[in-house]
């Protein structure tokens, strides 16, 4: 799937949920949880349920309400369930890559859903094929993780999951399901989020705490990096696996864009953190202006923070059409212009004859911002000053967020002033790396900021520059074409 030219944000990764419910309605609970995580992936969805003996699964392409609309949940009764909603970061958007995966191995049958990217999928596939005769049906890095869990040595699931953590490199917040247990585990760096809650005598794990809120569950805590949580009829037990590399590296873009503003990260509301980013941005890049507006919805909190810190009034200046999806694709320039007008509509009475501060969370390829600036100018703005509550994105992500290739990232080859000229703004200011870290370090230290700095928390192989690496690897001709 080509990147959308209307939504020039980093593309979301995936959302996962795991449920243990003694009332036997785990499938329904997982379904509700997935609705809350739809923002993390809109390509496919699926739920696997166990009644203590048999694992049943339903998954398909589409949004959650499209995949589960014909009574499929009635067949998914049981006390344990996992769910997944996907945006493709390794492997294309096709049926064979829909999750959860259901595999058989030496440890029995197992279903798995994964958020993140591992950095050596080809080598892992080859190893699993040679060692255990695994046969892969997908082109995603999540299926190898499922087979690794299903065949890992060890007498207990704690030992098997620990073996997986010692084997895997990269980002993985994963949930898995066996006939008699449900599990969640988070990579030792803690790149992707995963949290734990209590619900009606049972338990819920989810990518974000907003899912627990919608379920009426009590948020307990986030899983620690390297933590393994296993829930069965004997209750919940947890263990920490800490390989040699035990530094923390939570994706800093969870704060900037990926997580919902009503979720908790590091025991703080994401909305509050984004508001503080906007306030810091106002300190670093003040300007004389009459009104502050934000690009809805992801930059609203930052725009409010900028307005409060600067003393410039805040107003809604752009209205978002929420029925234009994130995967809206435009083949040419005329369609891109039309696409931006379909997605956003300015409020002329708010911006007419005003000096406007337009706050956004990020500029990735630079395909949307020029059209937004032009929209605001056509609505009558006298000046448009763009403020971005993240540093310039100069490097792609290889750990579970689709940010395009480095050549496509506008800040990798243009200066700030060149970007300002390209987008047609009167001025442009990015939040500094120091400012961003000061805002989030007040919460907790230890982040992956590689998209800004190029300093990756794990060694990244060149082949990971292509999210279709497992597809091109199956065809020598395609591989030669892709990698020269």
Q: Scan for tokens 């605001």, then name that residue.
A: 376
| Residue 324, in any domain of the structure | yes
C-alpha span between 268 and 278 (Å, rounded): 16
pLDDT at 1 over 90: no
Q: Please, which residues bridge with residue 429 across strands?
A: 387
Mark whether 167 and 208 lie in a shared domain.
Answer: yes
pLDDT value for 244: 56
pLDDT at 478 over 50: no
Mark whether 33 and 86 lie in a shared domain.
Answer: yes
pLDDT value for 444: 65
pLDDT at 470 over 60: no
| Residue 454, in any domain of the structure | no
Phi and psi torsions of 282, nearest 5°? -65, -35
The SS3 of residue 75 is helix
Instruction: For residue 326, name the pLDDT band (cuts at 50, 70, 90).
Output: very low
> Which CATH number covers residue 38?
3.60.20.10
pLDDT value for 471: 52
% helix, strand, coil for the chain, step of 5: 35, 25, 40
pLDDT value for 200: 93
Mark whether 63 and 211 lie in a shared domain.
Answer: yes
Between 322 and 348, the higher pLDDT residue:
348
* Lowest mean per-residue pLDDT among 122-126, 319-323, 325-329, 416-420: 325-329
> Which CATH number covers residue 286?
3.40.50.2020
pLDDT value for 441: 86
Instruction: For residue 481, name the pLDDT band (cuts at 50, 70, 90).
Output: very low
Give me the number of domains the chain comprises: 2
Mark whether 219 and 110 lie in a shared domain.
Answer: yes
For range 67-93, the mean pLDDT: 84
Mark whether 183 and 270 lie in a shared domain.
Answer: no
Residues in the chain: 484
The SS3 of residue 177 is strand
C-alpha span between 300 and 271 (Å, rounded): 9
Choose the final residue of a domain: 223, 248, 273: 248
pLDDT at 210 over 90: yes
Give per-residue pLDDT as tens, 115-165.
999 988 899 999 999 999 999 999 899 999 999 999 999 999 999 999 999
168 CA to centre of own chain? 20
pLDDT at 317 over 90: yes
Mark whether 324 and 178 lie in a shared domain.
Answer: no
pLDDT value for 327: 37
C-alpha span between 211 and 216 (Å, rounded): 9
Choose the final residue of a domain: 218, 248, 278: 248
For range 291-315, the mean pLDDT: 97
pLDDT value for 332: 46
Mark whether 233 and 361 lie in a shared domain.
Answer: no
Mark whether 55 and 165 lie in a shared domain.
Answer: yes
Mark whether 21 and 103 lie in a shared domain.
Answer: yes
Mark whether 221 and 343 lie in a shared domain.
Answer: no
* Lowest mean per-residue pLDDT among 103-107, 119-123, 271-275: 119-123
Choose the final residue of a domain: 222, 248, 274: 248
pLDDT value for 323: 73
Between 14 and 339, the higher pLDDT residue:
14
| Residue 198, in any domain of the structure | yes
Instruction: For residue 6, name the pLDDT band (cuts at 50, 70, 90).
Output: low
The overall average pLDDT reported for the chain is: 89
| Residue 3, in any domain of the structure | no
For range 182-191, the mean pLDDT: 96
The 235-240 sheet, strands edge to edge? 101-105, 108-115, 173-178, 181-186, 227-232, 235-240
Query: Which residue in 92, 401, 118 sits closest to 259, CA to CA?
Result: 401
pLDDT value for 231: 98
Give per-residue pLDDT as tens, 340-368.
778 899 999 999 999 999 999 999 999 99
- Highest-pLDDT range among 271-280, 326-335, 449-458: 271-280
DSSP structure class, residue 259: S
Mark whether 83 and 225 lie in a shared domain.
Answer: yes
Query: Interior CA angle at 8 toward 7 and 9, to 5°?
Result: 95
| Residue 71, in any domain of the structure | yes
| Residue 472, in any domain of the structure | no
Give per-residue pLDDT as tens, 378-390.
999 999 999 999 9
User: Catalytic site residue 397?
Assistant: no
pLDDT value for 452: 96
Mark whether 22 and 92 lie in a shared domain.
Answer: yes
| Residue 49, in any domain of the structure | yes
Identify the domain containing residue 40 by its residue range.
14-248
Instruction: Say if residues 47 and 27 touch (Cβ distance below 8 Å).
Output: yes
| Residue 354, in any domain of the structure | yes
C-alpha span between 144 and 160 (Å, rounded): 14
pLDDT value for 55: 98
């Amino acid at each position: 799937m080509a990147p959308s030219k209307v939504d020039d944000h980093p593309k979301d990764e995936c959302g996962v949920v795991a449920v243990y419910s003694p009332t036997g309605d785990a499938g329904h609970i997982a379904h509700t949880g997935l609705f809350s995580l739809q923002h993390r992936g809109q390509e496919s969805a699926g739920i696997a349920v166990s009644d203590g003996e048999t694992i049943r699964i339903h998954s398909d392409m589409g949004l959650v309400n499209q995949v589960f609309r014909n009574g499929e949940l009635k067949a998914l009764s049981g006390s344990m369930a996992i769910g997944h909603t996907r945006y493709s970061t390794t492997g294309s958007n096709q049926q064979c890559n829909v999750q959860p995966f259901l595999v058989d191995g030496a440890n029995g049958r197992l279903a798995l859903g994964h958020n993140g990217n591992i950095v050596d999928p080809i080598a892992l596939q080859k190893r699993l094929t040679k060692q255990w005769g695994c046969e892969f049906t997908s082109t995603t890095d999540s299926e190898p993780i499922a087979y690794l869990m299903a065949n890992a040595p060890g007498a207990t699931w704690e030992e098997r999951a620990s073996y997986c953590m010692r084997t895997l490199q990269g980002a993985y917040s994963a949930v898995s399901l066996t006939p008699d247990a449900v599990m969640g585990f988070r990579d030792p760096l803690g790149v992707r989020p995963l949290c734990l809650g209590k619900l009606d005598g049972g338990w819920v794990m989810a990518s974000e705490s907003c899912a627990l809120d919608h379920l009426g569950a009590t948020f307990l805590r986030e899983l620690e990096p390297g933590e393994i949580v296993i829930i069965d009829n004997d209750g919940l037990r947890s263990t920490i696996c800490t390989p040699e590399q035990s530094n923390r590296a939570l994706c800093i873009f969870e704060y900037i864009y990926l997580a919902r503003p009503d979720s908790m990260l590091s025991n703080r509301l994401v909305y509050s953190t984004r508001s503080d980013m906007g306030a810091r941005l106002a300190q670093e890049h003040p300007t004389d202006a009459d009104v502050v507006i934000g690009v809805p919805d992801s930059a609203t909190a930052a725009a409010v923070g900028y307005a409060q810190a600067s003393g410039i009034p805040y107003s809604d200046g752009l209205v978002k059409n929420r029925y234009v999806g994130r995967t809206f694709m435009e083949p040419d320039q005329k369609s891109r212009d039309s696409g931006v007008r379909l997605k956003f509509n300015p409020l002329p009475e708010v911006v007419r004859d005003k000096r406007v501060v337009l706050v956004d969370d990020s500029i990735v390829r630079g395909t949307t911002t020029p059209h937004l600036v032009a929209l605001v100018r056509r609505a009558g703005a006298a000046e448009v000053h763009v403020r971005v509550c993240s540093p310039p994105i100069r490097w792609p992500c290889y750990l579970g967020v689709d940010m395009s290739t480095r050549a496509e990232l506008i800040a990798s080859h243009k200066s700030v002033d060149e970007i300002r000229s390209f987008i047609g703004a009167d001025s442009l200011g990015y939040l500094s790396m120091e400012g961003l870290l000061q805002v989030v370090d007040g919460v907790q230290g230890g982040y992956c900021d590689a998209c800004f700095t190029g300093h990756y928390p794990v060694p990244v192989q060149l082949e990971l520059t292509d999210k279709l690496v497992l597809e091109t690897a199956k065809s020598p001709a395609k591989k030669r074409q892709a990698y020269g």
